[in-house]
Structures are given as structure tokens and as C-alpha cells.
Amino acid sequence: MLEFLALPAFQDNYIWLILDHKRQEAAVVDPGDAVPVITWLGRHPEYQLRHVLVTHHHRDHTGGLATLKAATDCRIWGPAAEAISSLDRRLDDGDKINILGQTLQVCAVPGHTLGHIAFYCDDPDGPWLLSGDTLFAGGCGRLFEGTPQQMHDSLERLAALPDNTSIYCAHEYTQANLRFAHAVEPANDDIRVRLEVVNDLRLAGRMTLPTTVALEKRTNPFLRSNEPAVITAAEQQQGQRIAAGADTFAAIRAWKDRF
């Protein structure tokens, strides 16, 4: 069984360190800063960094690539559709790669950036997803490059994964996301209870990840754009009738941007 450790970086990033204790090998995800990774490896010299997985080109996800490449014997995998230096292999939708004894499927999830990818593993010990900045706990990424339709379709694709899929996203945004979710659906008890739990976790200085597909489908408004309560909230914000799906998603994404 693999172990996932979150290495904090910058103000609210997480660099996920994935450990195979049997092989004493490691992989990291979206290392915007090499220092937390190199520091951990220095304290655990028995582990070798073998793989670096990159979801998209933003600097807070790629800033440490060159240093890690120079300092270790790692292989760097990332999206073919984005200009990222240091990649050893460029990945397209549907590609499969093998890391730490597991097979990962590459999923194109444009929206936050046009070439954004996610990594899905149907691990027999429990499926997991590296979602980057596409799907967050309680929220989703801003649309810096893609369209609302693209992001909606990407999120629908991720929401179709098995309910027990563990989601490892790249930022500690959960508390703010759930405050917005509660504004969208104030009568949703699942959101209310989850926000209370997250408030307690953050007050204690603890992280709120990973999450699961099942929990997100109950509490994340960006996965709920076909729900009557979410559609109604979007219509109230826009002052007009709005279709379910991508149009509702676009309305609540715009609302979140100014929330």
C-alpha cells in the first residue's frame, strides 16, 4: 500500500509525496518548490525519488522541476499540450504510465488551463485521483484559459469516477470553498456539517485532505449544477432563467469569483 504525505509549500499549496515503503521509492506531484521535497529526502536517505507528476504549467506547480531533475534520478511526466520544460515524457489523454508498481491513467481535464491533466489510479487498495487545480475539496479551479463548458465537462468526467476514489488536490482551499457552498445551498445539511468539521480542523492547524468523490458530489456546488437548489441559486444571482448543467456551472463559477 502506498502512503501519501502532504508537503506544504508557499501559502496554501500541497506537494503530494507518494511513498512505496516496500521499494523505498517515492514520487512527487506538482513540486512548485524543490526545497520541501529535497528537505524530506535528506531526512530519509533510504528513499529514492523516481517520478515527478505534473498536472499543468503554472509556476506554483512546476517551479521545482529543474532543481529536482538535477538533484535526483527522477523521471518527470506532464501534459503534452502545455509548454513545460524538464519533462521526460509528454502525456496525452488516455495514456497509461507505471509508477511505484501502479498503473495511472491520464485524463485530460481542460478548464483551469487548456492542457491540464489529472492522474487516476484504480488501486486495489482503493482508487485515487491526483486532480491538480481542476477539482478541489468543495470547489474547482478558476478558469484562467478554458471555457465554462470545458471545465464543466472535465468535472463531470471526474465525478463519474468510483465514489470511494480518494482525491488529492493541490491547495488548502476547503474552508473558503465550503463557505461559498453553504451560500449556494444553505439548506444542505451535508455542507453545513462538513463546514463545521473543516472549521475545527483548520482551527487546530490540520489539513482537510484528501476528500472523496462521494463527499464532493454531496457538498461541492460545482459538481451539483443539475440540482434544483443550485440552479435556483444561480438564477437568483443572474436574475434570469438558467439551464441546468454548464450554464448553471458558469453562473456559480462567476459568483464564486466575486464571493
What are the mean pLDDT values of the chain's consecutive 10-residue runs (259 residues total)? 96 97 97 97 97 98 96 95 94 97 97 98 96 98 97 98 98 98 98 98 97 98 98 95 97 96
For 24-33, the pLDDT digits (tens) are 999 999 999 9
User: Cβ distance 90 to 78 under 8 Å?
Assistant: yes
Give the residue extent of every domain in the chain: 1-91, 102-259
Query: Which pLDDT score, from 0 to 100, does residue 1 have?
Result: 86
The sign of the dihedral angle between the CA atoms of 80, 4, 38, 207 is positive
Q: Is the fold of 1-91 the same as that of 102-259?
A: yes
Provide the CATH topology of domain 1-91: Metallo-beta-lactamase; Chain A (3.60.15)
Three-state secondary-structure class, residue 195: helix
What pLDDT was estimated at residue 73? 85
**CA distance to 30, 155, 198, 259, per residue, from 117 (Å):** 11, 12, 27, 27
Query: Strand, helix or coil at 10?
Result: coil
Q: Would you please indicate which residues are annotated as catalytic (active-site) residues? A: 56, 58, 60-61, 112, 133, 171
Tell which CATH classification among 3.40.50.11810, 3.40.50.970, 3.60.15.10, 3.40.50.620 matches the domain 102-259.
Answer: 3.60.15.10
